[in-house]
């Protein structure tokens, strides 16, 4: 059986992939994440997942390589990782009381074979008070998370409901990844 490489240093993706009890290594990709501004959120995550996987696959052509990317979108506006408290506050106010979408793209490469897909999950936030937003920002959790929140951490208290794959919101739709690896022949 060929090696599996996760083309990411994301601790959340690593933890999720470990839940599948698969043997894998992680190698961080360093691709340019600039994308064309006209791309829709699902196109962005698939493009970036594929770039990440291709970079590592070129160095390890005999391995299965898994690349992934996640974005939070309010309509077609993609919310990245906030660079300041003010930017985090703006994002959380924008998401308060509304439903937004989280897209996670996945690319799995093995030689000339590739599987590419994305998962979309709708997340609805409670109506947030200024105090709730300030307390959450003070936790510093928003600063390394797209959309300024992490559903698997303190950000869980902001979420009223989700429709779709919870694990995709965390960073990797593990059930679909498992099935894709099986279909590609990595799992027996």
**Domain definitions of the chain by residue range:** 4-183
63 by DSSP, 3-state: which?
coil
The predicted structure's pLDDT at residue 185: 87
- The pLDDT of residue 188: 64
Q: Is the dihedral of CA 106, 109, 112, 113 positive or negative?
A: negative
If you search the block for the tokens 């240093």, which residue do you land on?
A: 9
Q: Is 69 a catalytic residue?
A: yes
Distance CA 20, CA 126 (A): 32
- Comparing 153 with 34, which gets the higher pLDDT? 153
CA distance 56 to 58: 5
CA-based angle 4:58:105, to the nearest 5? 60
Mean pLDDT of 140-148: 92
What are 89-112's pLDDT values in tens digits?
999 999 999 999 999 999 999 989
More confident residue, 45 or 186: 45
Q: How many alpha carbons fall within 13 Å on the CB side of residue 146?
A: 23
Catalytic residue among 15, 69, 112, 122: 69
Residues 6+ apart with CB under 8 A from 152: 12, 170
Structure tokens at 45: 């995550």
Tell me the pLDDT tens digit for each residue of 72-94.
Answer: 999 888 998 899 999 999 999 99
Query: Which of the listed CATH numbers 3.40.50.150, 3.30.460.10, 3.10.20.30, 3.90.950.10 matches domain 4-183?
Result: 3.90.950.10
116, 183 Cβ separation under 8 angstroms: no
Average pLDDT, the chain: 94
> Has residue 1 got a pLDDT over 70?
no
Cβ neighbors of 4 (< 8 A, separation 6 or more) are 22, 23, 24, 25, 63, 64, 65, 66, 181, 186
Quick one: average pLDDT of 43-58? Answer: 96
- Contact assessment for residue 100 and residue 149, using Cβ atoms and an 8 Å cutoff: no
What pLDDT, on a 0 to 100 scale, did the predictor assign at position 88? 96
Q: Cβ distance 153 to 166 under 8 Å?
A: no
Least confident piece of the model among 48-52, 53-57, 144-148: 144-148
User: What pLDDT digit, counting tens, does each position of 114-141 carry?
Assistant: 999 999 999 999 999 999 999 999 999 9
């Amino acid at each position: 059986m060929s090696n599996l490489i996760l083309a990411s240093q994301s601790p959340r993706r690593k933890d999720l992939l470990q839940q599948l009890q698969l043997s894998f290594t992680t190698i961080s990709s360093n691709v340019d994440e600039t994308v064309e501004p006209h791309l829709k959120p699902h196109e962005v995550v698939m493009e970036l997942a594929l770039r990440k996987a291709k970079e590592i696959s070129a160095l390890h052509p005999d391995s299965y390589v898994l690349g992934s990317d996640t974005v939070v979108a309010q309509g077609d506006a993609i919310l990245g990782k906030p660079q300041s408290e003010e930017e985090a506050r703006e994002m959380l106010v924008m998401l308060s009381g509304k439903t937004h979408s989280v897209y996670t793209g996945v690319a799995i490469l093995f030689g000339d074979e590739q599987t590419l897909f994305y998962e979309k999950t709708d997340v609805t936030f409670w109506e947030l008070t200024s105090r709730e937003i300030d307390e959450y920002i003070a936790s510093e959790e928003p600063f390394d998370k797209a959309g300024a929140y992490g559903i698997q951490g303190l950000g869980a208290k902001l979420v009223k409901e989700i429709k779709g794959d919870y694990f995709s919101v965390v960073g990797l739709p593990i059930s679909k990844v498992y099935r894709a690896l099986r279909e590609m022949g990595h799992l027996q």
